[in-house]
A and B are shown apart, each in its own frame.
Chain A
């Protein structure tokens, strides 16, 4: 038994490929916990950043700078009364949030946090991600219909139309990136080279193809990769029902859209699913176009010195967070009323600093690097989500459909054709 557990440590594959059930379970638990914590952090960050965009303070009461607000919210939601409308279809009403939750968490099976830091590497990786995440629209439709109320039904209809439409444009962008994996050779235009030229759908394979070609697919066939990435970046916002495409839950028109009738724990499951789906589609974008787990310039800035410099980033970023926390401590009002909050913030900063110091240890920093770069890139997308929400006004529904079908889809098909032509010619 012990031998079974330790035998995986010497292998260099993912637990799913090694067929090691124990480590697969451990990885699943770590990813599940990590994503849940990320959702909580995102919740806090979104409220805080949005508030600062609008020159407000945001949550300030629970914990220093509202740091404990997500926990307070979770407790509030858990203890709230769980209302099921009288004429609702009980079973469908009950199962809809679970479907959304399962669909958004299942896709993490193939997310490659590193060459070996994935739960498994499926041969159909990207297809699996798109397929399973497209199942979450079922949950939306079921929730809207089962509520037996007008606003949720309209929200669900809008949402399903929107998600199905943008999936098409998204698929075109993804296919053009997958097409690039079939090219071999070095440099932005080094392709062909007499190979059979079959690409790959596996998430790890896609990142390795970018390593092999010494270029992020974002910059491949400039500007084709860039345009495909742009289409995906727009479509993924629509796909996750976020502003400026949040018509299914447009507050001013539909109160809360498909989850109007939900409350308490079930409503929080919808929120958890939505944020998990946001992280999931961002990690698709990072994997396909931004070089996945690779640090910047893995091929030009080589050598032990650069390796050392880049391996210090994880620790330095945590130390920077700790410094920010301590600046917050110094700026706290000196009134005794704020003493607990000051001590709490100082403790939080100390924990962050300690994590940063642990990340400097050579054995840790070598293993943590690829995860850090992947998560950092995904975090950039998460911030973009907040930024969009604070910046853009909501689209009208016909405008939304027009953008999806008449702008993104033709451009996507054009990019796909041009990528194929360039791949053959160059």
Chain B
């Protein structure tokens, strides 16, 4: 099946952008772990999340990309930075950055790598081979119809969970209610 793309809207340099964005994501992930300064880690994480939004765009999912930017990069990470800035960074920089559990870490990495290789080798039989229909022009509308139609129950349950979390946060933050 060929992906249906609107005439005149052919994507440009797809391979380049895929490797560019994936490389950026991986690199910033490495920086998140290795930077000693937590603010630098948080900034690297923001870069990674933005690159991920670009990858979503390449998957013809502009709505997910927009939500990724507005929620993760613009909302949650700002609160992260907000908290980190108030932490005494000089003390945290003197602390050890890595614990010395090389064996457990190695085993976990090998297990995860094996899983990835397995999926890569067997993936074509595990999952049916299909190319998604890119519905970029009505992506948001389709998501809306799906969320409020077919998946209404799951959506409402998720919103209920969030409501519980919000009330919990208010209860915990306030001494007298």
B81 & A160 in contact (Cβ 8 Å cutoff): yes
B8 & A128 in contact (Cβ 8 Å cutoff): no
From residue 17 to 55 of chain A, which have CB atoms closer than 8 A to chain B? Answer: 17-21
From residue 133 to 157 of chain A, which have CB atoms closer than 8 A to chain B? Answer: 134-135, 137-138, 141-142, 144-145, 153, 156-157
Contact with A along B67-91 (1 / 0, CB 8 A): 1011001110111011001100000
CA of A305 to CA of B25, assembled, Å: 58
Q: How far is the CB of A275 from chain B (nearest CB, A)?
A: 21
Would A145 and B85 be within 8 Å (CB), given that A17-B8, A200-B141 are in contact?
yes
CB < 8 Å A-B pair total? 92
B74 & A198 in contact (Cβ 8 Å cutoff): no
B21 within 8 A of A: no
B-side contacts of A163, CB under 8 Å: 78
B39 within 8 A of A: yes
Specify which of B9, B77, B138 is in contact with A19 (CB 8 Å cutoff).
B9
A233 within 8 A of B: no
A161 within 8 A of B: yes
A127 within 8 A of B: yes
Would A137 and B85 be within 8 Å (CB), given that A122-B62, A124-B63 are in contact?
no
CA of A142 to CA of B77, assembled, Å: 12
A-side contacts of B70, CB under 8 Å: 127, 130-131, 134
B82 & A157 in contact (Cβ 8 Å cutoff): yes
A135 & B140 in contact (Cβ 8 Å cutoff): no
CA of A137 to CA of B85, assembled, Å: 14
B85 & A156 in contact (Cβ 8 Å cutoff): yes
A198 & B145 in contact (Cβ 8 Å cutoff): yes
B10 within 8 A of A: yes
A128 & B66 in contact (Cβ 8 Å cutoff): yes
B97 within 8 A of A: no
Would A198 and B43 be within 8 Å (CB), given that A124-B63, A145-B85 are in contact?
no
CA of A161 to CA of B83, assembled, Å: 11
From residue 375 to 424 of chain A, which have CB atoms closer than 8 A to chain B? Answer: none
From residue 42 to 82 of chain B, which have CB atoms closer than 8 A to chain A? Answer: 43, 46, 62-63, 65-67, 69-70, 73-75, 77-79, 81-82
B144 & A198 in contact (Cβ 8 Å cutoff): yes
Contact with B along A112-134 (1 / 0, CB 8 A): 00000000001110011011101
A280 within 8 A of B: no
CA of A153 to CA of B97, assembled, Å: 26
A137 & B74 in contact (Cβ 8 Å cutoff): yes
B137 & A134 in contact (Cβ 8 Å cutoff): no
B-side contacts of A141, CB under 8 Å: 78, 81-82, 85
A-side contacts of B46, CB under 8 Å: 138
A288 within 8 A of B: no
A172 within 8 A of B: no
B43 & A142 in contact (Cβ 8 Å cutoff): yes
A123 & B82 in contact (Cβ 8 Å cutoff): no
Q: How far is the CB of B112 from chain A (nearest CB, A)?
A: 31
A269 within 8 A of B: no
A164 & B63 in contact (Cβ 8 Å cutoff): no
CA of A141 to CA of B145, assembled, Å: 38
A-side contacts of B79, CB under 8 Å: 164
A319 within 8 A of B: no
Q: Identify the A interface with B (CB < 8 A).
A: 17-21, 89, 92, 122-124, 127-128, 130-132, 134-135, 137-138, 141-142, 144-145, 153, 156-157, 160-161, 163-164, 167, 196, 198-201
A-B contact pairs, 6 of them (CB 8 A): A89-B37, A127-B70, A127-B140, A156-B85, A160-B78, A198-B141
18 new A-B contacts, CB < 8 A, other than A123-B136, A138-B81, are A18-B8, A19-B9, A19-B10, A122-B62, A123-B137, A123-B138, A124-B140, A127-B63, A127-B140, A128-B66, A134-B70, A137-B78, A138-B73, A138-B74, A138-B77, A156-B85, A164-B79, A198-B144
Q: Identify the B interface with A (CB < 8 A).
A: 6, 8-10, 12, 37, 39-40, 43, 46, 62-63, 65-67, 69-70, 73-75, 77-79, 81-82, 85-86, 136-141, 144-145
The 5 closest A-B pairs by CB, nearest first: A134-B74, A131-B70, A131-B69, A127-B66, A19-B8
